Structure 1
Amino acid sequence: MSAPPSARRRTAAALAALAGVSALLGPAAARAEDLAARYVALGDSFTAGPFIPHQYGDPALCLRSRGNYPNLVAEALGAAEFVDASCAGAESRHMTEPQTLALDTAPPQFDALTPDTTLVTVGIGGNDLGFGEIVLKCLAVSVTDLTGDPCRDHYTDPRGRDELAQRIPETGEAVGEVLAGIRERSPGATVAVVGYLELLPSEKGCLQVPYATGDIPYLYGVWEDLNAVIEKEAAEAGAVFVDASGPGHDMCAPRSERWVEGIFPTRPAAPVHPNADGMAEVGDRVLASLGVRAGSPLA
């Protein structure tokens, strides 16, 4: 099964860059082979790629795609051994606990880690924050005040405390524990922590994102805070942080420029999730974070 054309083009470019580096640097490029000896991908649906062609793997309801960024990175690096343990709906606790699905159970994702693992990518934290709940709740309350900020009101208690703001540091702690667990199980691995793609514009919504006007900047701020705490935990753990942000490619972007689909997807992807182009972009950024770029050796 093949990846989408745009993904194949990006992967081909990365392969060409890596091949060029190998030809120019000779023995120095052997580090690429060392890095790719055993690659394990961990994460939630933003890693797995639900409904992006072609779906594969067991359990099927983990909704992993051949076109997700781990598969693209594995192909570009020429990984000798590759395990995609990501699963839609995963929280940080599912690194060490089984994940119950509708018709099956996914094993703890850390089961894929071994002492000889050389590269780990991980994208986690969104479901710890309550991603699905937030998407649905903010959509439901938007009809009560289309020009206000009913979602912010919902998550603010009578004392003015923001529940989502309180969840952010808790999510950071959970991510930090995940990174410590990776280091314990795969001490020699390079670890790349992948942030979340930009879901919303910073100020104004659109038909694809039918949230109340005042909640657009509020939710954008929540996304910023989530990525910031993930980046902080990555730095403290000595891991690489892969910044997936980029204005102009959110759910409100033109269809051809969109990396994340809206409430009603126009391309194969889950609602409010990355499409094939988004996955290809994240794959490119992971490769760049590892030093795979034209004219540059692996860092």
Structure 2
Amino acid sequence: MLTTTSAQQCPYTPADVGATDERDRARRARDNAGQPTLAFDRNTPYVDYAGIDTLLRLQNPRTGEPAETAFIIGTQVMELLFVLIQERWEIARDALEDDDVPGALAWLRRAAAAQDVLNDSWKLLGDMGPTEFNRFRDSFGEASGFQSFGYRKLEFVLGNKSAPMIRPHKGMAGVADDLRALLERPSLYDAALRLLHRRGLPLPGAAVDRDWTLEYTPDPGVEAAWGLVYADDRPGNDLYLLAEALMDVAERVTRWRHLHLMAVKRAMGGKPGSGGSNGLTWLARNVEKDVFPELWSLRSAL
């Protein structure tokens, strides 16, 4: 509640400000006779708001190969989408911790939509031929998607935790701190299991309260608990809806990994990766790693 002093310092409420902005927009529309404003002394408000001029200065190919531009833009698009997806998964996780299943479902749906765009972004890179790739590959040296801290944050939010994976970013203090914070708190899947426990489902204690810095290990008791959820697949069972929403997330993650594998296989075959990995073997191993494993294994038992 505003005190007399604070009210005097800030006499307008957010509603007042919104009404003022709406009146200003209506005035501009009248003054312009319904046409868009064409005269600006400096950058357009659109450019300033979204940082378009800065964004378009970030494409700096090192060769004359046209495919390199697509490679850089595709990579940057993915990194931006990593940020959006992480935000939505974290909001969903926090909603589950607050017992707000409808809120979590809404944010998981939004995240799935962003994941679809992320997966479609492979179309910018997926048709690159090996000769095109070879003409600029040497220009980026040891740079590798493995070094993406945005992607690493997503893996940590999902529950694929690994403290050594923070090491590549130890020279980036803020990034390393963010990754450690995600490492030390429950993942999206952990939050879902804790919700099931609060709802009275028989979950192993190790799945409810554990060392969050460790990678999640599948447990038959967790699969059994999800089995009880799936025994009631009526639309009104919010835990069943949650399970299927998590499967939507997991399926899209697996699809992204597979598209990554196929793009690399098409562009460079079985050559070693630029970041020091064995390339396809490393990526194939990640494709085979299930996200939210008991939700997948349960399907063989139902």
TM-score range for the pair, normalised by the shorter chain length = 0.3 to 0.5
TM-score by length of 1: 0.32
TM-score by length of 2: 0.32
Of structures 1 and 2, the larger Rg is shown by 2
Q: Relative contact order (C-alpha < 8 Å, sep 6+): which is higher?
A: 1
- The structure richer in helix per residue is 2
